[in-house]
């Protein structure tokens, strides 16, 4: 049984990365170098170009892309709905999935070509800590920000309004507290762990830490199965509107402009369908830029993804937080300067190596891997920067100059990817 197949948190015995997981093979490096050299020939307008491997036409004309009913699936959906995909010679078929474990399994067995997926799931599967070890690929970042921490109204009425007050309530009223995330190696698990630990609560020893699929969070809180959860929108806002829970914090409080969902696939799919990967990435890049371009586009996006075929909720649950208009369910409202972003002129989408490495440091912190991997080599293999650069050229998306970026998290600790092992070992609260 794999981690996301059960409600109780379990850190499977991790496998050490294989030789292919700690660095690119000579063949991989040569292939990526040849592809990058030909990037200037790639055109989103059907202009003929020649790659080292032949025609630049997508190898597949129809591409099945999985998604979970969450606001941050929007750029995948809109690339299809707006017909942007056709400009690049592909047809994106968005495929609604029930859980991240299901997404993982379908990516591995080939039922899905690609998916809107958790950053940490891709890394966990690659290292064998989140299911059968399979070489994986991250083509682009889909969004920054936009997740949150929801506490039950019972806890809020007892005085828990943020992480610090939650810790005080837990200390003064000792019992078993249950908190949910969406996949043990995923983003929400890492945000929840970081948030609780920032207030002195050990997320593995001090609470019961369970896994629940995103669309089931509110229903489980309604029947009393959990005290709090971390999930993507719109389910935090849905909990407020249903008077089930309150928002005690957002993930952008922890890390402003943090990475979240990615476009993920297997290494095998990339090797067999590089032109398809470039075309799909370019289409979704353009869709993300379209979403971020105006309030009107955000509203249209919310109306589109609210449909039963996608997120299946009311538009008002989605649109306000897409626009950065937040309420906590306890009378406080604010305009968040770091809401969910899908492009920000390409800054959001670049597959920064330091972003992937950060998730590995947290996997080490919480015992999901036993020893330090070669952080940079693993990130270099998974994050397909050369392919991304080609897709960015096709969609006229600016590309950042650096493959790393620097961020300061809620505890004042600076992350820049320069010494990941020291960073992973530096936390007072860890596994």
What CATH code is carried by the domain that includes residue 301?
3.40.190.10
Q: 307 and 167 in one domain? A: no
Structure tokens at 294: 């105006």
The predicted structure's pLDDT at residue 39: 36
**Does a structural domain hold residue 415?**
no
The residue among 197, 240, 194 whose CA lies nearest residue 217 is: 240
- Gap between the Cα atoms of 28 and 161, Å rounded: 50
Order of strands, sheet of 178-181, starting from the edge strand that comes earlier in the sequence: 208-211, 178-181, 228-232, 147-152, 245-250
For the chain, percent of residues with pLDDT exceeding 90? 87
The residue among 254, 278, 276, 247 whose CA lies nearest residue 198 is: 254
pTM for this prediction: 0.88
Q: 169 and 85 in one domain? A: no
**Does a structural domain hold residue 317?**
no
Q: 282 and 137 in one domain? A: yes
**Does a structural domain hold residue 153?**
yes
Q: 388 and 248 in one domain? A: no
Look up tokens 């800054």; give the residue.
Answer: 347
Q: 225 and 201 in one domain? A: yes
Structure tokens at 282: 């370019």
- Gap between the Cα atoms of 100 and 163, Å rounded: 26
Look up tokens 């399979």; give the residue.
Answer: 134
**Does a structural domain hold residue 180?**
yes
Q: 177 and 218 in one domain? A: yes
Number of domains the chain is built from: 2
Walk along the chain (431 residues) and give the pLDDT tens digit of each residue.
343 443 333 333 333 333 333 333 333 333 343 333 333 333 333 333 333 345 799 999 999 999 999 999 999 999 999 999 999 999 999 999 999 999 999 999 999 999 999 999 999 999 999 999 999 999 999 999 999 999 999 999 999 999 999 999 999 999 999 999 999 999 999 999 999 999 999 999 999 999 999 999 999 999 999 999 999 999 999 999 999 999 999 999 999 999 999 999 999 999 999 999 999 999 999 999 999 999 999 999 999 999 999 999 999 999 999 999 999 999 999 999 999 999 999 999 999 999 999 999 999 999 999 999 999 999 999 999 999 999 999 999 999 999 999 999 999 999 999 999 999 999 999 99
Cis peptide before 375 (omega within 30 of 0): no
DSSP-assigned letter for residue 70? S
Q: How far is CA 11 from the centre of its chain?
A: 20
Q: How many CA atoms does the CB half-sphere of 376 hold within 13 Å?
A: 7
Structure tokens at 46: 């059907």
Q: β-pairing, 178-181 with 228-232?
A: parallel
Contact 258, 194 (CB under 8 A): no
Q: 205 and 64 in one domain? A: no
Structure tokens at 57: 């036409």
Q: Which helix (H) or strand (E) holds 329?
A: none
The predicted structure's pLDDT at residue 27: 34
Q: What is the pLDDT of residues 2-56, one digit of tens each?
A: 434 433 333 333 333 333 333 333 333 333 433 333 333 333 333 333 333 457 9
Q: 220 and 193 in one domain? A: yes
Q: 281 and 395 in one domain? A: yes
The predicted structure's pLDDT at residue 55: 78
Instruction: State which residues form the domain around 35.
Output: 3-144+260-311+343-409
Q: 298 and 386 in one domain? A: yes
Q: 278 and 226 in one domain? A: no
């Amino acid at each position: 049984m794999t981690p996301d197949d059960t409600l109780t948190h379990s850190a499977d015995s991790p496998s050490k990365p294989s030789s292919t997981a700690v660095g690119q093979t000579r063949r991989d490096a040569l292939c990526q170098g040849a592809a990058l050299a030909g990037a200037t020939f790639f055109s989103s307008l059907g202009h003929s170009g020649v790659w080292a491997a032949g025609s630049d036409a997508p190898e597949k004309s129809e591409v099945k892309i999985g998604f979970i009913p969450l606001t941050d699936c929007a750029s995948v959906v809109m690339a299809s709905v707006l017909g942007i995909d056709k400009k690049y010679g592909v047809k994106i078929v968005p495929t609604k999935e029930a859980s991240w474990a299901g997404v993982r399994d379908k990516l591995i067995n080939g039922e899905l070509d690609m998916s809107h997926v958790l950053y940490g799931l891709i890394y966990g599967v690659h290292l064998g800590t989140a299911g059968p070890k399979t070489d994986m690929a991250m083509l682009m970042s889909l969004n920054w920000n936009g997740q949150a921490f929801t506490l039950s109204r019972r806890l809020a009425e007892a005085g828990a309004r943020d992480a610090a007050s939650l810790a005080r309530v837990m200390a003064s009223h000792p019992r078993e507290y249950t908190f949910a995330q969406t996949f043990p190696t995923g983003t929400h698990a890492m945000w929840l762990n970081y948030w609780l630990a920032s207030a002195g609560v050990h997320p593995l020893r001090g609470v019961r830490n369970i896994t629940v699929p995103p669309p089931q969070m509110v229903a489980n809180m309604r029947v009393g199965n959990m005290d709090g959860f971390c999930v993507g929108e719109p389910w935090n806002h849905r909990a407020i509107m249903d008077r089930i829970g309150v928002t005690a914090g957002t993930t952008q409080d922890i890390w402003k402009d943090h990475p979240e969902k990615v476009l993920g696939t297997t290494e095998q799919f990339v090797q067999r369908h590089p032109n398809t990967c470039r075309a799909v990435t370019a289409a979704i890049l353009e869709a993300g830029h379209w979403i971020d371009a105006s309030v009107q586009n955000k509203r249209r996006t919310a109306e589109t993804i609210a449909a039963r075929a996608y997120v299946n909720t009311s538009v008002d649950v989605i649109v306000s937080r897409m626009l950065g208009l937040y309420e906590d369910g306890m009378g406080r409202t604010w305009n968040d300067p770091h809401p969910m972003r899908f492009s920000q002129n390409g800054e959001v989408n670049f597959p920064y190596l330091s972003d992937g490495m950060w998730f590995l440091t947290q996997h080490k912190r919480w015992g999901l891997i036993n020893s330090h991997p070669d952080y940079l080599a693993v990130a270099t293999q998974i994050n397909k920067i050369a392919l991304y650069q080609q897709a960015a050229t096709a969609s006229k998306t600016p590309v950042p100059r650096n493959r790393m970026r620097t961020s300061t998290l809620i505890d004042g600790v600076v992350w820049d990817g320069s010494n990941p092992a020291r960073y992973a070992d530096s936390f007072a609260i860890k596994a």
